[in-house]
Amino acid sequence: MTRRLTLSVFRHNPRDPASVPRQDRFVLGETAGMTLFIALNRVRDEQDPSLNFDFVCRAGVCGSCAMVINGRPGLACRTQTKDLPDEIHLYPLPNFELIGDLSVNTGKWMRGMSERLEAWTHLAGEPEHDRLETPMEPELAEAIYELDRCIECGCCVAACGTARMREDFVGAVGMNKLARFRLDPRDMRSDAAFYQVVGDDSGVFGCMALLGCHDVCPKALPLQTQIAYLRRVMARTGIL
Ligand code: SF4
Ligand code: F3S
Ligand code: FES
């Protein structure tokens, strides 16, 4: 028998002074292979065209569909309704600017964090092209690729108590980026320069090892290992 699902969805338009945050309930029949992406689109098509939420790739690649699903940050396009109870509570990710309903501005947050960490390969000295072409051991290339799988969805930031308390905290996504560039032999930054940007409570010192980030990362990135790695390197370089 077809299950009837109730979606209880957070609604609010922060640009409308008359808008009061509330939960709206939508009832719909579950279909085979239904994801939250499909369910939300059906609600928007059949019940409320004003419902705001973000999707681009529908394949767990772009990171734009992250939201809080029954209390846990996750990707709506990769979440099947069959794995959820009849009543599904949806909220926007906390710690990010709310655009409306389930849509938040993770892009603005990620850009600010990336600029602050200078999250790009610093090729100084030789012509950039020569250094980019430098051969790399396959194991090292694999290790860098593994950390590059981050899709900047924001789930780790949403699940982090420190990020809730400190607006400038770079989060596990930032520390993962830093660890990734530290690994890259083409990046010419010294350890001291590397860690200058996160050697305070907005970076590694602020992390309280709560590990919510590690639990919710939809790409199963080894965030716990990367944070521990950064702490060890900082201690070794005498900065910690
Ligand atoms: Fe998302 Fe994981 Fe990247 Fe955090 S580290 S932004 S949870 S993919
Ligand atoms: Fe936050 Fe993860 Fe550290 S949840 S406190 S960044 S271990
Ligand atoms: Fe791209 Fe979900 S729509 S990750």
Cα of 78 to ligand 3 centre, how many Å? 8
Cα of 211 to ligand 3 centre, how many Å? 23
Q: Answer yes or no: do 178 and 89 share one domain.
A: no
Q: Answer yes or no: do 85 and 123 share one domain.
A: no
Closest listed residue to residue 75, CA positions, set 152, 13, 174: 152
Looking at the structure of the chain, the number of domains it has is: 2
Residue 84: its pLDDT value, please? 98
Q: Answer yes or no: do 84 and 148 share one domain.
A: no
CATH of the domain at 90: 3.10.20.30
Laid out side by side, the sheet with 87-91 consists of 22-29, 4-11, 87-91, 66-69, 72-75
- 132 lies in some domain: yes
Ligand 3 pocket test target in 54, 75, 104 with most atoms within 8 Å of CB: 75
Q: Answer yes or no: do 99 and 129 share one domain.
A: no
Q: Which atom of ligand 3 is nearest the CA belonging to 54?
A: 3
Pair 173, 155: CB distance under 8 Å: no
DSSP 166: -
d(CA 9, CA 82): 18
- 30 lies in some domain: yes
What tens digit of pLDDT does each residue of 125-176 get?
665 556 667 788 999 999 999 999 999 999 999 999 999 999 999 999 999 9
- 192 lies in some domain: yes
Pair 117, 177: CB distance under 8 Å: yes
pTM, rounded to two decimals: 0.93
Name beta bridge partners: 66. Answer: 75
- Does 155 sit in the ligand 1 pocket, CB within 6 Å? yes
CATH of the domain at 138: 1.10.1060.10
**Which three-class secondary structure state does DSSP give residue 105?**
coil
Cα of 44 to ligand 2 centre, how many Å? 35
Task: Tell me whether residue 139 is exposed, middle or buried, using C-beta atoms within 10 angstroms of its C-beta: 0 to 12, 13 to 18, 19 or more.
Answer: exposed
What tens digit of pLDDT does each residue of 98-115 get?
999 999 999 999 999 999
Number of CB atoms found within 10 A of residue 221's CB: 21
- 25 lies in which domain range? 4-104
Q: Which atom of ligand 3 is nearest the CA belonging to 76?
A: 2
Cα of 22 to ligand 1 centre, how many Å? 28
**Which three-class secondary structure state does DSSP give residue 14?**
coil
Cα Rg, the chain, nearest whole Å? 20
- Does 56 sit in the ligand 3 pocket, CB within 6 Å? yes
Ligand nearest to the CA of 162: 2
